[in-house]
Structure formats: structure tokens, C-alpha cells
Structure 1
Amino acid sequence: MSGSYTVVGGGAIGGTLAFHLARAGHQVQVVDTDAAHVAAIRRRGLVIRGADGTERSVPLAACGPDEAPASLGAVILAVKAHATTSAARWIAPRLAADGYVASLQNGLCEPEIAAAVGASRTVSAFVNLFADLVEPGVIADGGPGALVVGELDGTVSPRVRALVADLQAWGPAVASENVAGFLWSKLAYGVVGAAGAAVDDPIFDTIEAFPDLTIALAREVYAVAAAQGIAPEPFDAWEADAFLPDAPPERTRAALAKFCAWLRTQPKTRTGIWRDIAVRHRPTEVPAQYGPVLQVAAEHGIACPGIAAVLAMIGELERGRERHRDNLVELDEAICKGGNGS
């Protein structure tokens, strides 16, 4: 039996999932504020461009927020983290009594969603896929990654199982009782990706050139997770336990080498954060992702000089700071001065 979904935010994540859900026979409507993107989808369908340049399209409904249905059932929220509150407030009066909002986003967005629609109508999810919105109506797809869904209270409900089954039209979606562990692991890698936006090099080159920076940033995030009793989870080729503070150095280095080797096999060589700065020239979601991390860190008395330095540099990059290797040297020094070197 096919389901019906409203995807709010039809970019890299939302567009990719909408495409595969629609191809599998589900009724899908994309709601997006980008009028050109909506118009392109209406004109020729949503297009996925493979790494070899081949294109596939699927027809599906698309509209702006002003044209959306008055009642929404199952909602996949895939907007940038800094747009979460405004999107959730827009959804709230339209959400059916038995509807829910699943956060397919980067960062810790569920509390903002729950504040708007209620915790009982909020579903937690982690997604790591390799895609970019490259032009209106067209998404460059790098293949499946990882996708995990669960309830906020750590249970796996019937609606979670149903959502997971439908999302398997895209790739290896699974249910979990520890979505938080996945979210914090992506934050651990994500801050490395944010640092990598300070240069134009592929992310694997950046990690290999500055391994201590990578390790120190990941450990800062995991220290904050540990203070909350959250057990990090591995995903794709990222081995979470190898980056914990008590991991043997040789284990950490081996895991980092393995991760970089895997990254080299992926068609997408730069992060969405880099694309926002270098190509789209728009604010990134990094402050919305890592502001909450620093807030929790402060509550537990944990110093995170590396994360703070990355946030500051992202702000400068958004305002026109040049991208070059000296930026990573500066970040490396900020962490060493904070005493968090590996």
C-alpha cells in the first residue's frame, strides 16, 4: 500500500527522498520556497543526475508554501537547520491530528520541531546521503548512504516501521532505538566538513593533510555527547568508537585512513557547506547545527575551542574571507592552544 507524504524542503535531502518515494508509487508533494525550483519540477518533473551524467525524472506535485494543502499528514522536513523553527511553525496549524513531522535534517532539530507541533508528533531521524541541488529541479545524486529513524523516546513505533519501509525505496533505511547516537556521530564528522569548507580542496585531502584537526574536532563533539549519556553510533565508513578520547592512537589513525579511502570512492568530493559558501553564496546552517552543541557543552563545563573556532571562521567565510590552507592552520592552532590536540 502506497503512502502519502509532504516533503517540506526539496533540496539535496528532501528532493532525493521525494524522487525515490514518488518512483515507488507513493503520493508525494514537495513544498519549497524557491519559486524557480518549484517551477522546474512542475515543468519536467524532479530530475536526478547520476555520477555518469545520466538523468532520470519523475513527475510529482510541487508548490510554494502559500499554495500548500490546508491539512498535512506525514511530513518529511528537510529544510536547512536554521529554517527549522519557521518551517515547523508553518506546519503546525496544518498538521492533522494523526500527522507527524520526521526531521530528515542535519543537526539537532527535533526540539524546535517538538516545540511547534508537539513531541508526540515529532519523529527523529538521521540521514547521510551524497547529493547536491545543482540547478532548479535537478539534483546530483551520489548514491545511498545511511538513514535511521526512531521515536524521540527511543522506541520503534508502527509509524516508524512504516516510514522506514517506505524510505527503503531510496536505500538502506533502518529503525533504531538510538537515533541520537547517530545524530551526534554525524555532528562529529560534520564539524570536520565545516572546517573543510575553509579551502577548495576535496574533503578527503583536507582530512589527510590535517589529521590532528579532524581527530580533535570529533573528540570535542563526542565529549559533549558523553556528558549527556549518549552512545555514539557508526555510520557508513565512520567508526565512531575510534574517535573517542580513550581510543588507542593507532586505532584512530587506521580508522581515519579507512574513512578517507572510502570518501575517495564517492562522487561528491566537497560538502554542502562548501557549496553554500563557494557556489551559492548564502549563509550556511553551521551556526544552527553547532550553537546547540556549544550550549550543552557550556552547561556541562566542557571546553570546545575547536568547534568555537570553526563557527567563527564560517562566519568570516560567509562574509568574504578567502578560502586557503592557512585557514586550516589557524584552526589547528586554535585547538592546540585549547589543549585538545590528539
Structure 2
Amino acid sequence: MSEDKKKSIMDYDTVALDEENHALVIIDQTKLPYNTEILSLTKQEDIWSAIYLLQVRGAPAIGVAAAIGIYLAAREIEASDFEEFYQKFRKAKDYLDSARPTAVNLSWALKRMEGIVLDNKDKPVAEIVEELHKEAVKIREEDIWVCKTIGEYGLTLVNPGDGLLTHCNAGQLATVKYGTATAPMYLGQERGYHFRIFSDETRPLLQGARLTSFELKESGLDVTVICDNMSASVMRKGWVNAVFVGCDRVAANGDTANKIGTSMVALAAKRYGVPMYICAPTSTIDLNTPTGKEIHIEERPASEVVEMWYEKPMAPEGVKVFNPAFDVTDHDLIAGIVTEYGIAREPYSESLKEIFRRKQEALKDE
């Protein structure tokens, strides 16, 4: 673990593979913005904990971390034949997959890595492990392209000087680079758009205040932190021209699960005529989940609400606390879902299938 206050947060890789030491390297996001601590993780228990405890967070970053993590697990497997290797691989995969139930990128990345194992089952175990290594690196590199492309599509939806609002952190700290919801903001910054950004604080874990405002400010963007319950006020004043948020899962009908409070932003945006855009890599789209009702919503400890940010508990001892980590935004509140293969619009049951058709065509041409 190391600490360096001279470098900007944007100079660090959110998620990386240390080839020399065979380690998953992440920024410990629970320590931001006060301390930049870099964790080098080699044990599966530590990687699982890092995902569960939100030391690495954001659906794309979790997917990349999972791919690297399962590759590192495969390196440690001792097996005399493929069947023994695969049995131990599945055990390690299921263990990592249990860390976060809502973010589909976790299971997506692990399934993709499992596919590499099965596609190479006739090869020696050492070669299978090397194929896993290549795939983990590929998944990380793909994330950079995906986010930049989402940013390009997102930029077509706004104009220079616009006010943009975002909730939680779907920025570079949630991906390898650019972010999803922040990708249009960063590309706009490079091209002189001079956006005005409003960042919801995002209770109870304050990712918007601690992370989004931190990375945007470090990058020179005009960012203002607001409490979650202020979003309607800034929209009513006409200060917001569009809302960009990320998500952890998109259902087949266009319902999306994102950090708790997103649905309230969507309702306010609908009331004030502000378009709400979901920035979602295709890896986050789950066509096997029909609607938002079927998305499992993770519930987290009460301490995050009543104790985490306070010297003394801010609620009566023993009071009941409900702490869902995510909520579902209904598809009719969403103006568009921005992916790396285009922008899906209503009816999402059809347009999301078209997005995947484009993806398959693109993959055939590679």
C-alpha cells in the first residue's frame, strides 16, 4: 500500500493488473477524497472483500476487477487434468460472484472468463491460464474504448454551456478511464464545451460528494455539489439541461437499477422536462431479466446510514433502518439508454435487441 499526495487522482489507474507481482491493483475508494491509497491484492478473500466493501466500485470497474481476480485465482489452482481444474475454477468463480448481487458486470465478466476455460478445454492447464490472462487484459482495454464511445454518443445529446446533473459516481473512478455518465463531460471538457455540472451527494455513502466532485474538480470541470433533495430545485430554476447517470443493470424492458436515489432524480426530471439518459455498456444490459421487478436489490448494513459519517450515531439507538443500495428507474422515465453501439429509445424491448444486433455485426467484422 502506498500514498502519494502529489499526483492527481486522474493519474492513477482505477483497476489494473500488476504483471510482475501477479496482483490486482486498485484505488481504495473508501478513503477518498482525503487519502489516495493504492491496494495490491493477491488473495481471493481480499479481492472479494474489496468488491463487497466498495473499495473497488462501479459496475464496469467491478467487472474488470473480477476478470483480473479470477485469472489470479486460476494461476493458483493445482490440478492434474481439466476436470479438476474446472471444478476448482468454478468454485473460485462462484465465490467472487457472491460479492455483489446487483451489478451485472460482475457475473458478466466471470461468465466470459468461464467461457474462455470451456473454449480451451482441450489445451494444457498452463495454456488455459494464459488464455485467461489475455482475456482479463482484453476486458480492461475494451472498457476504455466502451466508455469513450459512450461519451461520443452522449455528447450528441447536449450543447456547449449546458447544465448537466449526475447522481452517484459513474466516472473514471467507476471504470478504467472516462467513466460512463461522465464520459460526455470529459470529452466536452477536451473540446471546450464548458459544461456546468451538478453532482448529487448520493447518500448514504456520498459517492457523488466524495468521488464525482473530486475527480471532476481535479480535471478542471465546473462542478457544484448539491444534496440529493436539491435536484428538483435546480431543475425548476432551469439550470439543468440533461441528466446523465450510470447503472448497474438494465432489464429487457429498459428499467434500470442504479444507486439509491436515482429514481427520485428521474421523477423530478420528468416533471420539469429534463431528459434523463442512462449511460450503460452493453455488458450492463441483461436481456434475461424481463423488468426491474426481477432485479435483486442489495440491502446493506444500517451503520452506513446512522454511523459511518458521524462522530456519534445520528439516530436513536435501536431504531429500524432500511438501506437498499439501489433503486429501479422505470423505463418510461428514461429518454434514452446510451451504449457503445448507439442510443436505445422506447420501446426498449425492441431497441435494446437492435443494440445487440449491431454489436454482433461489429464483432463479426473484427
TM-score of Structure 1 vs Structure 2, range by shorter chain: 0.3 to 0.5
Q: Per residue, is there more helix in 1 or in 2?
A: 1
TM-score normalised by L of structure 2: 0.31
TM-score normalised by L of structure 1: 0.33
